[in-house]
Amino acid sequence: MGASKAQMKEKIRAKDEVLGELHIALANDLIARIKSGEASPAELNAAIKFLADNNIEVNTAEGSPVDNLRALPVFNDEHDAEATTH
């Protein structure tokens, strides 16, 4: 005999709760690593993907730290990056 509707709803609720906790823990861990300056490039990329996957966008004010990123050069490949460092 299968599970009742109430049991299925409870399982879904419990699963959503666990996923929510994981989501919050991951976000908090990424924030802590970034703020401490210990985040690796892979962790920074994970944070960027995490934000994009959750449809998080930022509207920047002129002169803000995020707006200042626009002034950085854009590298298309390793050759471009090496050319600017030599």
pLDDT per position as a tens digit, 2-48: 679 999 999 898 999 999 999 999 999 999 999 999 999 999 999 99
Closest CA to 50 of 38, 62, 61, 42: 42
Under 8 Å between Cβ of 4 and 24: no
| Most distant CA atoms of the chain, gap in Å | 72
| Predicted TM-score (pTM) of this structure | 0.61
Closest CA to 44 of 78, 69, 71, 81: 69
